[in-house]
Amino acid sequence: MKLKDKKVLVIGGGSGIGFGIAKGAAEEGAKVTIASRNADKIAQKAKSIGGTAAVLDVSAEANVENFFKEHSGFDHIAFTAGDMSSLARGVLGDLDLKLAASRFNTRFWGAVAVAKHGATRLPPGGSFTFTNGMLAHRPVKGMPIVSASAMAAEGLALGLAVDLAPVRVNCVCPGLIETELLAGYGDEMLKTMSQRQLIQRPGTPEEAAEAYLTCMRNTFMTGQVLRIEGGIAIAN
């Protein structure tokens, strides 16, 4: 129970992988705060695990700065904020570069803002863990910007681990995880997609969350990228 009485902030914790992290940390006795944009959703989810909720939209730095003025004392921060907007999917010749650039707003620049205003205040041995995705390593046609933004997150993890030490910084790289994010895909599509993996099913939010909890618990772990992806990286 290494997380007992630790203060854990999960940004993006109102659903999916983030809620898996929040629930897992609460079960270990951590004091959990869930943050994201939708006040009603996070209030309900936080209540269900005995945690607290705080509204935050990480797409503007000022929001993040104000948030960490009002909320402090965290030991660990996990960052899973992201949505399906600005996937910038399609034929390269038709790519809207402004839309493509906006792909980086929440996942990348949001994580940078949280590092700047939040992770710099963590205690030695505390941890900041954020998220990329397996499209960094197994690109699919029509999504080079998604692959690039995911790979950028890995570089950020290494750079921040050096900058923020002895605070620890790691990145989790999920493969196909069945969450609210993929709700529109349908069972058949998820089944088809998972056939490419060694473990031929989507992962659960709890399985992905375990990687983030490991990053929090393991006090010798920093600058790492943990792939939780059913073996897609090495599958033929």
Ligand X SMILES: NC(=O)c1ccc[n+]([C@@H]2O[C@H](COP(=O)([O-])OP(=O)(O)OC[C@H]3O[C@@H](n4cnc5c(N)ncnc54)[C@H](OP(=O)(O)O)[C@@H]3O)[C@@H](O)[C@H]2O)c1
CB of 44 or CB of 72, closer to ligand X? 44
176 binds ligand X (CB under 6 A): yes
**Alpha-carbon distance values, 66 to 60, 61, 127 (Å):** 10, 9, 21
22 binds ligand X (CB under 6 A): no
67's tokens = 């948030």
113's tokens = 């803002």
Residue 96 phi, psi dihedral angles, 5° rounding = -85, 110
Supply the minimum distance, in Å, between the C-beta of residue 57 and ligand X: 4
Q: Show contacts with ligand X in window 199-218 (CB under 6 A).
A: none
51 binds ligand X (CB under 6 A): no
193 binds ligand X (CB under 6 A): no
How far apart are the C-alpha atoms of 115 and 113, rounded to whole Å?
Answer: 5
The correct pick among 12, 24, 118, 126 for binding ligand X (CB under 6 A) is 12
180 binds ligand X (CB under 6 A): yes
> Buried (b) or exposed (e) across 87-100, using 16+ Cβ within 10 A?
ebeeeeeeeeeeeb
The correct pick among 37, 89, 116, 138 for binding ligand X (CB under 6 A) is 37
DSSP letter (8 states) at residue 221: -
The correct pick among 80, 127, 147, 194 for binding ligand X (CB under 6 A) is 80
How far apart are the C-alpha atoms of 16 and 18, rounded to whole Å?
Answer: 5
Q: Near ligand X by CB under 6 A, which window of 1-9, 12-20, 89-97, 219-227?
A: 12-20
Q: Show contacts with ligand X in window 87-126 (CB under 6 A).
A: 106-107
133 binds ligand X (CB under 6 A): yes
